[in-house]
Structure 1
Amino acid sequence: MIKKIQCVMLVDDNKIDNFFHERIIKKHDATIKVLPMPFAEEALEYLKATDDRQQPELIFLDINMPGMNGWEFLAEYHKLPSENQQSMIVVMLTTSENPDDRAKALTHGILSDFRSKPLTKEMFEEVIEIYSKSQNQ
Structure 2
Amino acid sequence: MSEKINKLGCILLIDDDEATNFYHTLIVEEECAHIPVRSVKSAKEGLEYLLCKKDNADCPKPGIIFLDINMPGMNGWDFLARYHELSADIQQRAVVAMLTTSVNPDDRDKAATIPEVKEFVHKPLTPETLRKIMHENFT
Q: Same fold (TM over 0.5)?
A: yes
Alignment of 1:84-99 (within 5 A): 84-99=90-105
Q: Which amino acid aligns with 2:126?
A: T
Q: Which amino acid aligns with 2:54?
A: D
TM-score by length of 1: 0.92
Give the Cα–Cα distance (whole angstroms) in 2 for the partners of residues 70 and 101 of structure 1: 11
Give the Cα–Cα distance (whole angstroms) in 2 for the partners of residues 80 and 10 of structure 1: 18
Give the Cα–Cα distance (whole angstroms) in 1 for the partners of residues 16 and 65 of structure 2: 14
In structure 1, the partner of 2:16 is 13
Give the Cα–Cα distance (whole angstroms) in 1 for the partners of residues 50 and 133 of structure 2: 20
Deviation of residue 51 (structure 1)? 2.5
Give the Cα–Cα distance (whole angstroms) in 1 for the partners of residues 95 and 54 of structure 2: 21
CA contact under 8 A between 1:112 and 1:130: conserved in structure 2?
A: no
Q: CA RMSD in A?
A: 1.3
Unmatched tracts of structure 2, length 5 or more: none
Could you tell me the percent identity over the aligned residues? Answer: 47
Tell me which stretches of 4 or more aligned residues in structure 1 moved more than 6 Å: none
Deviation of residue 130 (structure 1)? 2.0
For the residue of structure 1 that corresponds to 2:108, the secondary structure is helix
Q: Which amino acid aligns with 1:58?
A: I
In structure 1, the partner of 2:52 is 49
Quick check: 1:112 aligned with 2:115?
A: no
Number of aligned residue pairs = 133
Task: For residues 24-64 of structure 1, give each alpha carbon's deviation from its aligned partner in whole angstroms, at most 9, with x where no partner exists.
Answer: 10011212111111011011011112233311000000000
In structure 2, the partner of 1:130 is 136
In structure 1, the partner of 2:106 is 100
Give the Cα–Cα distance (whole angstroms) in 2 for the partners of residues 24 and 6 of structure 1: 17
For the residue of structure 2 that corresponds to 1:57, the secondary structure is strand
Give the Cα–Cα distance (whole angstroms) in 2 for the partners of residues 47 and 68 of structure 1: 15
